[in-house]
């Protein structure tokens, strides 16, 4: 019997940990202008995309991250028209955002054209509905430059980036967050992929420290993504409108009803409120207490 082939996630090698996934088939592997990309099939998780040795998305658990990165800020804001996604290559979050009829225009700024082209071939479930929607535009470029230069203003900015390595490192800097603040409309909200605090505490401490310096209100909320190993992942949340993260479940449920109650698999109005109730160690990290 042929030897089984395993692919290793090397993201947490620095803490002495590796996660291996059995490979049924490698569907695509390449080194793009910005990063190493491999897509393979696993018998449990289905299609799995890794960039620079870190799992980005799998067919089996993508819905957790997608729904929490998109519906939480949009229902907290309640009347978002202009939305920006920084990163987001696979268009999974774009597909969720476009379920909100109130959204008039969605712009995605992705640095790596190869990731978008590859997603068109291998993740049509996300790219087809997104690119078929006249409200959607995908700009190839560095998100850090875009937020520093654009004259547009956004109600919601979603940073669906890789981890702070390679091209993604810039997206965790004070300059980048200040650029996001600059192009947020009044009462706008910023959410950011902020890793798994159990292993990536410094990332959260650093981002939230920047947020406290730039915004009137900042915190994070949490979600459990099975292939983002290490327990709860943190999603940064920042705004000058202190009411947004305190929006009641009743108000969110009413907004969800008006939005047509589209199907979700993880997100609910009650879960949105609960996601801001942080375990003590994450709350302390978010408040700046180092690990």
Range in contact with ligand SAM (rule: CB under 6 A) among 104-112, 182-190, 210-218, 272-280:
104-112
Helix, strand, coil percentages in the chain from 3-state DSSP, rounded to 5: 40, 30, 35
Active site residues: 160
Measured distance CA(126)–CA(58) in Å, rounded: 12
87 binds ligand SAM (CB under 6 A): yes
244 binds ligand SAM (CB under 6 A): no
130 binds ligand SAM (CB under 6 A): no
Measured distance CA(66)–CA(121) in Å, rounded: 19
Cβ atoms of 27 and 122 within 8 Å: the answer is yes
Among 73, 143, 188, 236, binds ligand SAM (CB under 6 A): 143
Among 86, 156, 183, 208, binds ligand SAM (CB under 6 A): 86
90/203 with CB nearer ligand SAM = 90
For the bound state, the minimum distance from the C-beta of residue 178 to ligand SAM, rounded and expressed in Å, comes to 15
- With b for 16 or more beta-carbon neighbours within 10 A and e for fewer, the 48-62 pattern comes to bbbbbbbbbbbeebb
Range in contact with ligand SAM (rule: CB under 6 A) among 103-111, 202-210, 248-256, 264-272:
103-111
Return all residues near 52 (Cβ < 8 A) that are at least 6 apart.
35, 36, 162, 165, 166
Measured distance CA(261)–CA(255) in Å, rounded: 9
Residues that bind ligand SAM (CB under 6 A): 34, 56-57, 65, 86-90, 109-112, 115, 142-144, 160-162, 167-168, 170-171, 193
């Amino acid at each position: 019997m042929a030897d089984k082939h395993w692919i290793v996630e090397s993201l947490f090698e620095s803490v002495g940990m590796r996660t291996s996934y059995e490979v049924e088939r490698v569907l695509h592997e390449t080194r793009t202008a910005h990063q190493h990309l491999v897509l393979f099939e696993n018998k449990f998780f289905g299609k799995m995309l890794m960039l620079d040795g870190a799992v980005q998305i799998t067919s089996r658990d993508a819905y957790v991250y997608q729904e929490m990165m998109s519906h939480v800020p949009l229902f907290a804001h309640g009347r978002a028209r202009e939305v920006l996604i920084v990163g987001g290559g696979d268009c999974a979050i774009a597909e969720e955002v476009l379920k909100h009829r109130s959204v008039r225009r969605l712009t995605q700024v992705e640095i790596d054209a190869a990731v978008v082209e590859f997603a068109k071939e291998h993740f049509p479930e996300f790219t087809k509905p997104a690119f078929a929607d006249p409200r959607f535009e995908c700009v190839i470029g560095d998100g850090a430059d875009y937020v520093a230069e654009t004259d547009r203003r956004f109600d919601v900015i979603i940073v669906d980036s890789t981890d702070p390595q390679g091209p993604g490192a810039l997206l965790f800097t004070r300059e980048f967050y200040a650029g996001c603040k600059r192009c947020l409309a009044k009462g706008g909200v910023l959410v950011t992929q902020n890793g798994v605090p159990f292993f990536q505490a410094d990332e959260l401490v650093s981002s939230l420290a920047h947020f406290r310096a730039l915004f009137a209100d900042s915190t994070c909320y949490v979600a459990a993504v099975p292939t983002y190993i290490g327990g709860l992942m943190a999603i940064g949340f920042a705004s000058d409108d202190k009411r947004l993260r305190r929006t009641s479940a009743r108000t969110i449920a009413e907004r969800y009803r008006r939005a047509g109650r589209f199907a979700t698999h993880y997100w609910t109005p009650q879960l949105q409120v609960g996601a801001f109730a942080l375990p003590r160690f994450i709350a302390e990290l978010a408040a700046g207490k180092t690990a």
